């Protein structure tokens, strides 16, 4: 190696080392930026959840105040029990806003409900944090239908997103009889059961069509209204 090659080689080595350091710094900055984005997302979700809880607390306080006024000024025919029932109904509806019900998932011994629910949600492209998974109702030895699964998400925004995506489920193989629904009252569930029976009949008569339930109506993939609930 001649006297001219040595300086050139040293310069090349220094250039490579400098570029390597720059690449390392850029990679570290990228990782830090990704962490900041994730942190900001979590902060936004937590803030939304806290805001919803504040609204819920305010609404409950206002309802109690309104209930007191109504009891003082309304006729005796509007009993205290009716007023309390109305207040309770509003509060329960707010509690249910973070819940979802899935119908049609087979029951098995040793089942892990969180995994079963997550698997269904992944089929529609959703991966929220799932908590409080339980089967609803008592197991009946004379009824082989699987009990529905109730679970909770972090806030009602996540619930709304899952419900919007729910119609995709019936385009997936093996999920024709699985339904994703909001957490309803007993009366709402009875009305919805009638709607589900109508939907099953529709799919039976027209197996090549794509039908789903939204806003208490049976819709096709073209968003045409076929039946009301």
Residues 10-32 have pLDDT tens digits of: 676 777 777 777 787 877 777 77
Mean pLDDT, residues 173-186? 87
DSSP string, 13-53: HHHHHHHHHHHHHHHHHHHHHHHHHHHHHHHHHHHHHHHHH
Distance set, CA 22 to CA 8, 11, 16, 35, 162 (Å): 21, 17, 10, 20, 43
Q: Which residues are registered as beta bridge partners of 218?
A: 213, 227
This prediction's pTM: 0.51
Neighbouring CB atoms inside 10 A of 47's CB total 10
Separation CA 61–CA 43 (nearest Å) = 27
Residues 73-94 have pLDDT tens digits of: 655 555 667 656 666 665 666 6
Residues 39-72 have pLDDT tens digits of: 777 777 777 777 777 766 776 776 667 666 656 6
Closest CA to 56 of 85, 86, 98, 99: 98
Residues 182-206 have pLDDT tens digits of: 988 878 878 888 888 888 888 888 8
pLDDT band at residue 130 under the 50/70/90 scheme: very high
Neighbouring CB atoms inside 10 A of 100's CB total 23
- What pLDDT score does 223 carry? 58
pLDDT band at residue 228 under the 50/70/90 scheme: very low
């Amino acid at each position: 190696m001649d006297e001219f090659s040595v300086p050139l080689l040293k310069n090349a080595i220094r250039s490579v080392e400098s570029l390597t350091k720059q690449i390392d710094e850029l990679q570290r900055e990228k990782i830090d930026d990704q962490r900041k984005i994730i942190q900001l997302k979590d902060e936004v979700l937590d803030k939304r959840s806290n805001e919803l809880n504040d609204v819920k607390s305010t609404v409950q306080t206002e309802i109690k105040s309104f209930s007191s006024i109504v009891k003082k000024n309304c006729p005796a025919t509007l009993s205290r029990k009716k007023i309390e029932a109305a207040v309770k109904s509003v509060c329960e509806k707010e509690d249910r806003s973070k819940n979802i019900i899935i119908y049609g998932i087979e029951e098995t011994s040793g089942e892990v409900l969180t995994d079963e629910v997550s698997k269904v949600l992944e089929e529609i492209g959703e991966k929220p944090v799932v908590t409080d998974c339980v089967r609803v109702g008592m197991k009946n030895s004379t009824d082989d239908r699987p009990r529905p699964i109730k679970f909770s998400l972090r806030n009602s925004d996540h619930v709304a997103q899952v419900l919007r995506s729910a119609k995709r489920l019936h385009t997936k193989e093996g999920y024709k009889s699985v339904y994703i629904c909001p957490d309803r009252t007993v009366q709402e569930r009875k009305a919805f059961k009638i709607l589900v029976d109508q939907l099953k009949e529709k799919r039976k008569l027209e197996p090549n069509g794509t039908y789903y339930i939204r806003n208490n109506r049976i819709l096709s993939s073209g968003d045409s209204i076929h039946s009301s609930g």
